[in-house]
Amino acid sequence: MAGGALAGKAVAVIGGGDAHHRAVAVAAAEAGASLALATFNPLPAQEYAAHSIANEVWAIGREHFVEVMDASDPAAVGAFAAKAWERFRGCDALFVVSSLPRPAPDASVEEKRAFAGRHRAPLLAAQAFGQLMRGRGAGAVVFVAPERDPADAKALNAALAAHLGVGGPRIAVVGRDAPAPEDAAAGALAVLAPPPGRGPSA
């Protein structure tokens, strides 16, 4: 399957294997991108879901790989970024899909730890991929987070710029105004490939 708005591009998608993670990854594959897929946590359910998503990407005919990792571990995220960079000779965007719900009060310690890790992971991932994107002077980090206000993008951009300096990727936040998985995925991809007649999202 050739062509698509993201043909020739590579993207990384980190998530928990839920419907939003799947929608973003499949939409990127359908648009022509190669994919580096990763989990938030090395939990069996996330590992299974990530490989299920990879099967869909394979069926579409896109190059891809899966990394089962703890995205709150800087070393693991850095290794994932390096692997994506080596495999695809660069990465045009990182999508961090943090749409999983808050655990119930009686949730297990493992579930609560996983949730806490998801809140640390986005900036760690942005830093790891941003270091590499900065060398090319291009790239985008998109947080797909229905619970996060898009206005947070300014604060996140400032935090990333303080860490990386000028020339790093820009950050966008999508999902709050279009929380359905397919709509959030469309908003995420529009940051990279805006519809005709529209410039890149801020």
In a domain, 84, yes or no: yes
Q: Which among 140, 125, 113 is positioned nearest to 75, based on CA atoms?
A: 125
In a domain, 201, yes or no: no
DSSP classification of residue 197? T
Distance, CA of 97 to CA of 2 (rounded, Å): 26
In a domain, 26, yes or no: yes
In a domain, 2, yes or no: no
The pLDDT tens digits of the residues spanning 121-172 come to 777 888 888 888 877 767 888 888 766 666 666 666 666 666 666 666 677 7
How many folded domains does the chain comprise?
Answer: 1
Domain that holds residue 183: 10-192
- The pLDDT value recorded for residue 163 is 60
Report the chain's mean pLDDT, rounded to a whole number: 81
Q: Can you give the pTM of this predicted structure?
A: 0.81
Distance, CA of 169 to CA of 178 (rounded, Å): 24
In a domain, 48, yes or no: yes
CATH code: domain of residue 18? 3.40.50.720
In a domain, 91, yes or no: yes
In a domain, 5, yes or no: no
In a domain, 200, yes or no: no
Distance, CA of 140 to CA of 125 (rounded, Å): 12
